[in-house]
Copies of this chain bind each other. A is one copy, B any other.
Amino acid sequence: MFYPKSHAVIGASAEARKFGGRFLQTLINFGYRGVIYPVNPQESEVLGLKAYPSVADIPGPVDFASIAIPARAVPGVLQECVTKGVKAALILTAGFRELGEEGQRLEKEIADTAARGVRVVGPNCFGVYCPGGGMTILPGENLPRESGPVGFISQSGGYAVRVPRRADGLGIRFSKAVSYGNGCDINECDLVEYMHQDPETGIITAYLEGVKDGPRFFSLLREVCQTKPVIIWKGGLTQGGARAARSHTASLGGQEAVWEALFRQTGAIRVNNLEELLDTTLAFLHLGPLAGQRICSIGGGGGIGVAAADAWERAGLSVPVFSPELEKKLLGMIPAVGASARNPVDVGGPFPAPPMFRAVMETVCTDADVDILVVDEIEMAMAMPRGGQMFRPPEAMQEMVRVPLDIKEKFGKPVVVVMPVEAVSTAWLESEGERRKIRDLFLQNHIPVYLTKERAAKALANLTSYYQRRGMLISG
């Protein structure tokens, strides 16, 4: 794999308020492993690195250039990059076609120059986060240094950093996240094609505002979706959203009906916001191929079971009825009153005794004909301090947390946990810390954790529909 060994930062300065200064500092802090050449005609040194008046003055080869200078100077500098033999350039500068005619003209010049021998990401973008290559996006100096199997393509710079940042806390790691802005040269199709071939990328995700070449995008998705899931958040599908997208990246959005048809006909997965994108990614990451949509959920209350069944069925998942034999077995385990042996199972309250909880989980795994097991609003530790005490003593807590982990290991069945943030007050921050620790332990063991039933349901429906369709395509 090609990683740039030398990187010219054109428009580098010591001022963190300027894009070029901020980007250079970010690159240094993130730990770029190649040589960095600041380019600035007014400085001989920037942030402790020798600076050069122009890219032409740099001795030796330059693999990559980042450009953060006023828009009207960009075409000339890009031509210098071509002359120097720079292989790829990133144009952070905004103020091109999203700003009207003059900007359109400048952007056309850039595209023409690119065609003469340099690949361009941007303009009007935040760049490329690629931990394997020691590269990061403009405000991404704190993003994880480890790689992972998720690729992210984003027309928005803001979301190009918000998605991996939010994902970080959920243990989702990226092969590459690319903010490509106006996409005057490298566009969404090129990036999907690249990630399709990229062995580091297993799941492709995207935030898109518009697509340059509809027919190419369509046939590409049809092909890619047969081997890798492509999860797309399409921004600007409403009237107001389309208007905003024109101001943002000068994208022509396309109508909802057209996009709906695209999703239906290609098998790409539609999500409608950042949360759905991450929730769905989490399901693909941890549960893998899964075509069945039959859910058994085990919850800590009667109302919880009612709400759960509503959530699963509204998302298109099914809640099969248990056999009389299974119901009978479960009736022997759960409390005689205030509980339910039907699906969704109600273990009688949010604090079941760990051995009973384990017996119910094991029995359901052995006897029920279901595809996914959901542990729903059962308290693993505490929801909040209770008179200064946790609800469960630490040993019992550990015993509870072990149950889903052991079940997953023993039966190899997909297990999903729904753990809402109950303790939303500032005073109970510590218990939110406990919740997060338990969440992390589940995530490390391939048990996806969701904040609400509805979010779990949407993610699981997205996952199972994709594999159902793919199975049909493969077998058909």
Task: Specify which of B142, B158, B305 is in contact with A300 (CB 8 Å cutoff).
Answer: B158
Residues of B within 8 A of A29 (CB): 387
In the complex formed, the residue of B with least CB distance to A434 is B426
Residues of B within 8 A of A422 (CB): 162, 165-166
Residues of B within 8 A of A280 (CB): none
A93 CB, min distance to chain B CBs, angstroms? 8
CB–CB A169/B248 < 8 A = no
The reply on A159 being an interface residue by CB < 8 A is yes
CB–CB A273/B423 < 8 A = no
The reply on A337 being an interface residue by CB < 8 A is yes
Residue-wise, chain A 122-165 has the 8 Å CB interface mask toward B (1 for contact) of: 00100000000000000001100000000000111111001001
The reply on A50 being an interface residue by CB < 8 A is no
The reply on A170 being an interface residue by CB < 8 A is yes
- Contact A207:B303 (CB < 8 A) given known A342-B247, A346-B248, A452-B275: yes
CB–CB A244/B429 < 8 A = no
Residues of B within 8 A of A154 (CB): 303
The reply on A95 being an interface residue by CB < 8 A is yes
The reply on A432 being an interface residue by CB < 8 A is yes
Q: How far is the CA of A420 from the CA of B470 in the complex (A)?
A: 34
A130 CB, min distance to chain B CBs, angstroms? 20
Which stretch in A39-47, A224-232, A311-319 binds the other chain?
Answer: A311-319
Residues of B within 8 A of A236 (CB): 306, 309-310
Residues of B within 8 A of A340 (CB): 244, 247-248
- Number of A residues with CB within 8 Å of any CB on chain B: 88
The reply on A84 being an interface residue by CB < 8 A is no
CB–CB B310/A237 < 8 A = yes
Q: How far is the CA of A304 from the CA of B346 in the complex (A)?
A: 40
Task: Specify which of B94, B142, B314 is in contact with A337 (CB 8 Å cutoff).
Answer: B94
Residue-wise, chain A 428-450 has the 8 Å CB interface mask toward B (1 for contact) of: 11001100110010000000000
Q: How far is the CA of A166 from the CA of B377 in the complex (A)?
A: 13
- Extra inter-chain contacts (6) besides given A249-B302, A426-B440, CB under 8 Å: A95-B337, A141-B386, A142-B386, A166-B420, A240-B312, A240-B319
Closest 8 CB pairs of A and B: A156-B303, A169-B425, A158-B301, A169-B424, A248-B302, A240-B309, A95-B337, A240-B319
Task: Please list 23 pairs of residues, one from A and one from B, whose beta carbons are closer than 8 Å in the complex, sorted by A's number.
Answer: A95-B338, A157-B301, A157-B302, A158-B300, A165-B422, A166-B420, A168-B425, A209-B303, A235-B310, A238-B309, A238-B313, A240-B313, A240-B318, A243-B319, A243-B342, A244-B302, A244-B340, A247-B340, A272-B310, A274-B307, A274-B420, A426-B440, A429-B433
